[in-house]
């Protein structure tokens, strides 16, 4: 099947961008409001300009390329993803969505296609939340669900607030409310993303159409006890928060495993003061719980809180659970799903539907407008890992589907 988009140009872009923030093992760390992210934005801006887009950033660092439509006042077809990464991540997560969108627009421009509706490609600020343990800041700001207080409160491991980090890179958190967009200014939102799971690979498929996105709830849990000498404190006289935390973490695995499709992960844990021969005085760890059903998520949050209470009470410890980030599960718009099906057929590809376990800015955008997502196959389902990989042809197929979908959605 002849494809329209330029798969070699797209592939070059993936590997050029994939060099920014790369460490010696090949993993990428491109956190928000860092020199690496700034360099990535400069590179992406150049490719947006080459595709005949007008490039600008908003006050909290969302990078936008606008491809003008015949009706400059018409609502915008928005297509986005992110260029920030997790710590030691891969070169496709987020980047595939931005670079495929630029490639689709570049191809439209080469074919002298002027859409009726303007199209904007947006690289959202801080989708991953890797630096401030929150996430999707750029899309939340556009949806108006982020407050200035949030930006001053969330801090990185050096106690730098998101607001301060923004200012260091020339943005202005005080102008947060200028970023907000209203639903009537948006026609629909599309995002291409790597699947980050194994469903497409297990079905030997190149692309898939996302039906809905599981909602994440991120907690910080703090367990406090009595510090003491590791050698001189008899076992029966201890109030050891490390033991309490380990019981809780293992029982959280049981809580999620009994559900149909919920998942739970403890990704970070810190012991204070953290000495080899000291019983800690406190342990802090994170919990990331996800499910496609809001009702299940609410129930699991309650079970986690009750578990912390029971274990800490029984062992004479203190326990605190704080929610860092919560996004409701979201459903793709039937109209956009139908358009994606037609585009898959136009590209000579089967139409396959699947849910997304990973979170995306598309969830936030679905609060404002009709949302749809295209997945491309992930090799071995690996992601958030230097070995993350998507084949050139899979990425090209997904981009071809995006090209047809943008053409249709942006035409009168
Ligand atoms: O956490 C997520 O699901 C996404 O990668 N930010
Ligand atoms: Mn992502
Ligand atoms: Mn990610």
Is the predicted pLDDT of residue 197 greater than 70, yes or no?
Answer: yes
Any idea where the domains of the chain sit in the sequence? 7-213+329-409, 215-326
Is the predicted pLDDT of residue 203 greater than 70, yes or no?
Answer: yes
pLDDT in the model for residue 323:
96
How many whole angstroms from its chain centre is CA 151?
A: 18
Atom of ligand 1 nearest to the CA of 86: 5
Cα 38 to ligand 2 centre (Å): 18
pLDDT in the model for residue 25:
87
pTM over cut 0.85: yes
Q: Which residues pair with 52 in a beta bridge?
A: none
Q: Provide the pairing of β-strand 282-291 with 215-224.
A: antiparallel
What is the Cα–Cα distance from 360 to 365, expressed in whole angstroms?
9
pLDDT in tens, 57-67: 999 999 999 99
Share of the chain above pLDDT 90, in %: 99
Residue identifier of the C-alpha nearest atom 2 of ligand 1: 359
Contact 337, 375 (CB under 8 A): no
What is the Cα–Cα distance from 122 to 10, expressed in whole angstroms?
17
Range 215-326 classified under CATH 1.10.540.10: no
Mean pLDDT, to the nearest integer, of 157-180?
Answer: 97
Ligand in nearest proximity to the CA of 86: 3
pLDDT in tens, 71-121: 999 999 999 999 999 999 999 999 999 999 999 999 999 999 999 999 999
Contact 161, 151 (CB under 8 A): yes
Q: Which residues pair with 220 in a beta bridge?
A: 286, 322
pLDDT in the model for residue 88:
97
Mean pLDDT, to the nearest integer, of 184-212?
Answer: 98
Atom of ligand 1 nearest to the CA of 288: 1
Is the predicted pLDDT of residue 361 greater than 90, yes or no?
Answer: yes
Q: Is 215-326 in the same CATH topology as 7-213+329-409?
A: no
Cα 269 to ligand 1 centre (Å): 19
pLDDT in tens, 126-140: 999 999 999 999 999
What is the Cα–Cα distance from 383 to 163, expressed in whole angstroms?
29
Dihedrals phi, psi of 7, to nearest 5 degrees: -70, -25
Terminal-residue alpha carbon distance, the chain? 27
Is the predicted pLDDT of residue 2 greater than 90, yes or no?
Answer: no
pLDDT in the model for residue 78:
98
What DSSP element (H or E) covers 323? strand 318-326
**What's the token pair of residue 371?**
């949302």
Cα 280 to ligand 3 centre (Å): 32
Residue identifier of the C-alpha nearest atom 4 of ligand 1: 359
pLDDT in the model for residue 1:
67
**What's the token pair of residue 53?**
């887009």
The residue with greater pLDDT, 1 or 170, is: 170
**What does the CA dihedral 143, 147, 153, 159 come to, rounded to 10 degrees?**
50
What is the Cα–Cα distance from 351 to 144, expressed in whole angstroms?
34
Cα 287 to ligand 3 centre (Å): 16
Q: Pocket around ligand 1: residues whose beta carbon is below 6 Å from it?
A: 127-128, 135, 358-359
Tell me which CATH code domain 7-213+329-409 carries.
Answer: 3.40.630.10
Mean pLDDT, to the nearest integer, of 312-334?
Answer: 96
pLDDT in the model for residue 265:
98
Cα 149 to ligand 1 centre (Å): 23
Burial letters 57-88, b for 16+ CB under 10 A, else e: bbbbbbbbbbbebeeeebbbbbbbbbbbbbeb
pLDDT in the model for residue 146:
96
What is the Cα–Cα distance from 365 to 136, expressed in whole angstroms?
10
pLDDT in tens, 24-54: 989 999 999 999 999 999 999 999 999 999 9
Cα 69 to ligand 1 centre (Å): 32
pLDDT in tens, 286-309: 999 999 999 999 999 999 999 999
Atom of ligand 1 nearest to the CA of 290: 3
| Residues 279, 282, 285: CA angle, nearest 5 degrees | 120
pLDDT in tens, 237-275: 999 999 999 999 999 999 999 999 999 999 999 999 999
Dihedrals phi, psi of 226, to nearest 5 degrees: -115, 120
3-state secondary structure labels for all residues of 184-237: HHEEEEEEEEECCCCHHHHCCCCEEEEEEECEEEEEEEEEECCCEECCCCCHHH
Q: Which of 28, 216, 325, 381 to mutate to test the pocket of ligand 1 (most atoms within 8 A of CB)?
A: 216
């Amino acid at each position: 099947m002849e494809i329209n988009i330029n798969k070699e140009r797209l592939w070059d872009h993936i590997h050029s961008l994939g060099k920014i923030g790369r460490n010696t093992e090949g993993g990428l760390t491109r956190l928000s409001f860092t020199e690496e992210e700034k360099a990535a934005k400069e590179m992406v801006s150049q490719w947006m300009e080459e595709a005949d887009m007008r490039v600008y950033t908003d006050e909290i660092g969302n990078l936008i390329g606008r491809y003008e439509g015949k009706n400059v006042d018409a609502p915008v077809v928005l297509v986005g993803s992110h260029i920030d990464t997790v710590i030691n991540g891969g070169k496709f997560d987020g980047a595939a969505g931005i670079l495929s969108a630029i490639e689709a627009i570049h191809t439209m421009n080469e074919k002298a296609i002027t859409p009726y509706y303007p199209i904007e490609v947006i690289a959202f600020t801080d989708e991953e939340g890797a630096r401030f343990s929150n996430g999707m800041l750029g899309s939340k700001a556009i949806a108006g669900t982020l407050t200035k207080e949030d930006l001053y409160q969330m801090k990185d491991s050096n106690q730098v607030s998101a607001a301060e980090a923004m200012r260091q890179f020339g943005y202005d958190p005080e102008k947060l409310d200028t970023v907000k967009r209203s639903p009537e200014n948006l026609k629909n939102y599309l995002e291409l993303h790597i699947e980050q799971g194994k469903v497409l690979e297990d079905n030997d498929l190149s692309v898939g159409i996302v039906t809905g996105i599981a909602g994440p709830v991120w907690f910080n849990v703090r367990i406090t006890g009595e510090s003491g000498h590791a050698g001189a404190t008899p076992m029966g006289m201890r109030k050891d928060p490390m033991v309490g935390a380990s019981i809780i973490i293992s029982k959280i695995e049981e809580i999620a495993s009994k559900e149909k499709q919920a998942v739970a992960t403890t990704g970070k844990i810190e012991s204070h003061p953290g000495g080899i021969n000291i019983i800690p005085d406190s342990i802090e760890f994170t919990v990331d719980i996800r499910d496609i059903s809001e009702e299940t998520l609410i129930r699991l949050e309650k079970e986690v809180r009750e578990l912390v209470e029971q274990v800490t009470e029984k062992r004479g410890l203190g326990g605190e659970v704080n929610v860092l980030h919560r996004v409701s599960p979201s459903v793709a718009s039937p109209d956009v799903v139908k358009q994606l099906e037609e585009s898959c057929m136009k590209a000579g590809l089967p139409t396959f539907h699947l849910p997304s376990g990973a979170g995306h800015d598309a969830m936030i955008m679905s609060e404002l407008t009709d949302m749809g997502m295209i997945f491309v196959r992930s090799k071995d389902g690996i992601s958030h890992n230097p070995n993350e990989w998507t084949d050139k042809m899979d990425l090209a197929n997904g981009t071809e589907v995006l090209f047809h979908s943008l053409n249709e959605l942006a035409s009168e």
